[in-house]
A and B are shown apart, each in its own frame.
Chain A
C-alpha cells in the first residue's frame, strides 16, 4: 500500500542577490523534480553528497519546507491543499528525528516534560495517562523510565538520540524522516540506534525515510535506496541490487569510496575527481557530466534518459552495469 507519493517535487530557496542592493535575486533549486513512492513499513535510504538536496527533500515531505512545484501526497491527501483538520491529522502521522540530539531537545525541559509536551499538544492521551505513556515511550526506546526527570545535558549522545526517537514515536506516526540520525554517534552506539530502528519498524510497521551519507548503514537498514546529485534522484532501486551493480556512474563512485575494513583493499586511486559544482550554476545537460569518467559528447547538451530496469530506475545514457 502506497503511503507516500512525491511527484515532480521542486524546492527553491532565495540565495543572496547580486547587483545593486542585491536586487537581482537568485534562486537555488535544492530539489529539482523528484518523484518517489514509499509503502507502509518500507525504509528508503536517501544518500548523496552534502548539498545534494537530501535534507531539503526530507523536510519538504513533512511540509517543513515550502514546496515550489509538484506534490507530496500522504495517504492520497495533498497537504498543500488540505484543510486544517486534515493537516492536524497528518501532522500526527509523521515525525522527524534530527542529526544533533542535543540541539534538537529543549535544554530547559526534562526528558519527561519534552515527551509530555508532544502528547499534550497533539492530544494523544488524556492528561491523567500522560505520565504512564512517557514511561512507556522511554521503555520502548530502551531507556529506564527514571531518566524522565533528567535534562538533556545529563544524558549521553546515544541516550539523547533515543529520546529524539521517543519524541517522534509519541505521535504514533506511520512515517518517520530520520535526518543523519546516527552521524554524530560513536560506532558502538550507532549500532544500538540502528537496531532500535530495525526493531521499531517491524513492531509498528513504520515507514522510514533515512537520510544518511554513510552508505554502509543504508545498505544494512534500508529496503530501497535513492541516490541524489544536485537536487535530482539519479538512481533508485532495491538496496542490494543498487549496491551490487550500480548503473549510474555517480552511484558507482560513491560505493567505491566507502572505506572497507579490508586491509588488503587499497585506497581507491581517485573514485571521483573534484567536488559538486555550485547548485546556483547547474551544468547543462546531465548535471554530473563534468565529473563523470564515462562522459559522452551529448552529455553536456541533453538531459540523460530515465531508464527502467526491473524495480530500478536511473538517469544515464549508459546501459551496461559499471562495477
Chain B
C-alpha cells in the first residue's frame, strides 16, 4: 500500500474546566490510506467526534485545545499551521459532514451559493464557474434536476436530500479526506442505505478517503475497510474490519459486538456491558475499561495498556487480550 493520505500521531484534545484539565482524547494515532473508509466507533462521550474536530482544528469551545506530534496531510503537519493555513487545508484537503444537516446548512442561502462559496474562495472561480461546478457536484451526489435545485433553499429539501446537499458542500473543493460524523443517524434505514452507497461511490470515483464516525457496527461492517474503537478518549482496538469483527481481541470490542440486537434472534435477554462509561474527570486507575471488564487481571487496575500490534495492521490496548477466535 502507498503512503497514507493522513497520518495522525499522538493527537490529544484537552479541555480546561476551571482549574483542572481533562483529557478528552488521549494520544490517538492512526493512518488513513487513499480510498480507505475507516469506521470510528464508540459510545457517546468516547471522544470520536472530538478527535475528528481536533484534527480539523474545529474545536467548538475556546476551552479546548489540541496537542500532539503529527497530523500529516498533503505534505504538511496541520499542527504547525496557523489559522489561515488551516483554513486553506480545510477548503482544499479536508471536508466534514455532520449528523444534522439542517443545523449545518445556512437556511437563508441557496444551496448552490453554499456550495459555490467554497469554490470561489479556495479556487478563485468566478460566480458563473462556481455555479456550474455546484450543479455538477449536485448531480454527482444524486440530486435530481440539479439545474433547478441549485437555486433551492435548504428547507425545500427533504432530510435525505439535505444530507446529500451537505455532502455536496463538503465535496465542492475536491477534498482528499472526508470526515463524516454520524451522517446517517438521523435518517430512515432506507435513506441511510442510499447515503452510505453514495459515500462508497464517491470513494470509488474520486479515491476519497473517509473517516466515518458511527455507533452502528452494522454500518461499519457494510461500508468500512477498517475499524477503530474508542473508549473513554482512548483508542482500544484498530484493524481490518474482517479481522476485528470476526475476532475482536479487546474485551470492549467483543462486548459491543455482542450487545447488537441483530447478533441473535429470539426472545432471550440481550447481552449487555454492565455499568456505564466513566466520566472523564473521574477516570479509573489503569485501563479505563477495567470497572466493566469481565476478564480483569491484576495489571488492569494499575497500569494503562498501550496500543500494541497483535498481527499485521491489527492493534489493541489490553493487558489480557482475548485469543483470536476465542469467542463463543
Asked if B270 and A254 sit within 8 Å, CB to CB, the answer is: no
A12 at the interface (CB under 8 A from B): no
Residue in B197, B215, B223, B267 whose CB lies within 8 Å of A198: B267
Q: Which of A236-286 contact B (CB under 8 A)?
A: 240, 253-254, 257-263, 265-273, 275
Binary A-proximity of B253-267 (CB < 8 A = 1, otherwise 0): 001110111110111
Other-chain residue from A156, A190, A263, A273 in contact with B261 (beta carbon distance below 8 A): A190
Give the distance to chain B from A217, nearest Cβ to Cβ, in Å.
5
CB-defined contacts of A198 to chain B, threshold 8 Å:
267, 269
A188 at interface (Cβ–Cβ under 8 A)? yes
Contact check, A262 vs B221: say whether CB atoms are below 8 A apart. yes
Which of A23-31, A208-216, A310-318 participates in binding chain B?
A208-216
> Which residues of B are found within 8 Å of A157, using beta-carbon distances?
44
Measured CA separation A257–B217 after assembly (Å) = 14
Residues of chain A whose beta carbon lies under 8 Å from any beta carbon of chain B:
49-50, 156-158, 186-192, 194-195, 198-199, 213-217, 219-221, 240, 253-254, 257-263, 265-273, 275
Please pick, from B43, B161, B242, B269, the residue contacting A186 in the complex, using a CB distance under 8 A.
B43
A266 and B222 in contact, given A50-B188, A191-B272, A257-B189 (Cβ under 8 angstroms):
yes
Determine the residue in chain B with the shortest Cβ distance to A220: B261
| Residue B205 is within 8 A (CB to CB) of chain A in the complex | no
11 contacts between A and B (CB under 8 A): A216-B260, A220-B266, A259-B189, A259-B192, A259-B218, A260-B222, A261-B257, A261-B262, A268-B193, A275-B158, A275-B188
Q: Are B259 and A187 in contact (CB under 8 A)?
A: yes
Inter-chain pairs besides A261-B260, A270-B193, 12 sampled, C-beta below 8 Å: A156-B276, A186-B43, A186-B44, A187-B215, A190-B259, A219-B261, A219-B265, A258-B218, A259-B189, A265-B221, A270-B194, A270-B197
Q: Is B202 an interface residue (CB 8 A)?
A: no
Provide the bound-state CA to CA distance between A173 and B269, in Å.
Answer: 23
Knowing A188-B256, A269-B197, A270-B197, say if A194 contacts B270 (CB, 8 Å): yes
Cβ of B307 under 8 Å from chain A: no
Chain B residues within 8 Å of chain A by Cβ, number? 46
Given A194-B270, A259-B221, are A188 and B259 neighbors across the interface (CB < 8 Å)? Answer: yes
> How far does the alpha carbon of A216 sit from the alpha carbon of B256 in the complex, in Å?
15
Measured in the bound complex, the distance between the Cα atoms of B217 and A51 in whole Å is 26
Asked if A267 and B223 sit within 8 Å, CB to CB, the answer is: yes
| B182 shortest CB reach to chain A, Å | 12
> Contact: B255 with A265, CB < 8 Å?
no
The answer to whether B261 and A216 have CB atoms under 8 Å apart is: yes
| Cα–Cα distance between A290 and B270 once the two chains are bound (Å) | 38
What chain B residues lie within 8 Å of A49 (beta carbons)?
A: 188-191
Could you tell me the distance in whole angstroms from the C-beta of B16 to the nearest C-beta in chain A? 22
- Contact yes or no, A267 B265, CB < 8 A: no
Bound-state CA distance A61–B125 (Å) is: 57
Select B270's contact among A50, A195, A265, A275, beta carbons within 8 Å: A195
A199 partner residues in chain B, CB cutoff 8 A: 269
Inter-chain contact A188/B255, CB cutoff 8 Å: yes
Contact of B272 with A259 in the complex, beta carbons under 8 Å = no
Residue B132 CB within 8 A of the other chain: no
- B160 close to A (CB within 8 Å): yes
Given A187-B43, A215-B189, A271-B190, CB of A259 within 8 Å of CB of B160: no
As a 0/1 sequence over residues 70 to 109 of chain B, the CB contacts with chain A under 8 angstroms (1 = contact) are 0000000000000000000000000000000000000000
Asked whether A220 lies within 8 Å of B270 as measured between CB atoms, the reply is yes
Q: Is the CB of A191 within 8 A of B270?
A: yes
- Separation of A221 and B268 alpha carbons in the complex (Å): 9
CB pair A187–B158 under 8 Å, yes or no, is: no
Contacting pair B246 A263 (CB below 8 A):
yes
A192 touches B272 (CB 8 A): yes
Which residues of B lie under 8 Å from residue A258 when comparing CB positions?
189, 218, 262
What is the minimal beta-carbon distance from B271 to any residue of chain A, in angstroms?
A: 7
Contacts of B196 in A (CB 8 A): 259, 267
Interface presence of B304 (CB below 8 A): no
User: Which residues of B lie under 8 Å from residue A253 when comparing CB positions?
Assistant: 190
Q: Chain B residues with Cβ under 8 A from A217's Cβ?
A: 261
Q: Which residues of B contact A220 (CB under 8 A)?
A: 261, 265-267, 270
Q: Cα distance A157–B43 when bound, in Å? A: 12
